[in-house]
Every structure is written in structure tokens, then in C-alpha cells.
Amino acid sequence: MKNYKNKWIIQRVSALILIPLLFWFIFQCLSFSTMEYSQIIIFFTSTLNSFLFLIMMLVTIIHAKLGCDNIIEDYVSGKKIKFISKLTINFLFYLSALIFILSIMKVSLL
């Protein structure tokens, strides 16, 4: 994605999406301390909670990928190192997304 305007907009929109989701998740994490294991499993098997958690995690890795891409573009000058860095970031992005999706599907199907 060479269009820097679109990257900038996506990064700002993802940050705005993350604000309420992170407050929701922090509130839920505080309540986890008083819950038993079975209650936490019930929490994550809820469709709404698992969907919100999945959205939060996917938007987080999209936001992080864009930030890392910006750092690579701005501060790495060697073409070979830049290529390897971007390849590694893309691989980790897709691997993380796959792991998040599969994990949420497995927990929500319990």
C-alpha cells in the first residue's frame, strides 16, 4: 500500500475503534479476577464478547502493522533489510490474524 494518505486514515480510524474496545476489555479483565474459570469460558463463548474480542485483536494487529511499516519506511535505508523487514512484518501479521481467528472460533464452539 503506497498511498500514504490511505495508510494515515486507516491508522487513525483503527486508533479510534480501539479506544472503546480497550476500555471494554480492561473493564472485563478487572472482572476476570473475581470470576472462576467456567465463568470466563462462558464469557468468551458469548457471541457478542467473542466478536468484540476478535475485532479488538484484528484492529490491534492492523494498527501495529501500519505503525511498523511506517517505522521501516522512515528509518530503514537499506533495500535488502527493508524488504526482509516488511516480509517479516507481513508474515507475522497474517500468522497472528490466523491464530486469533482460529482461537476465537475454537473457544466460541465449546
Q: pLDDT for 8-24, tens place per residue?
A: 999 999 999 999 999 99
CA angle 83, 86, 91 (to 5 degrees): 125
List all residues 6 or more positions away from 40 whose beta carbon is below 8 Å from its beta carbon: 32
Say whether pLDDT at 1 is over 70.
no
Domain boundaries, the chain: 4-108
Per-residue cell: 79: 533495500
Indicate the fold that domain 4-108 takes in CATH: 3 helical TM bundles of succinate and fumarate reductases (1.20.1300)
Confidence (pLDDT) at 2: 65
The overall pTM is greater than 0.95 = no
Confidence (pLDDT) at 105: 85
Mean pLDDT of 87-100: 95
Which stretch of 8-17, 44-53, 75-84, 87-96 has the lowest confidence by average pLDDT?
Answer: 44-53
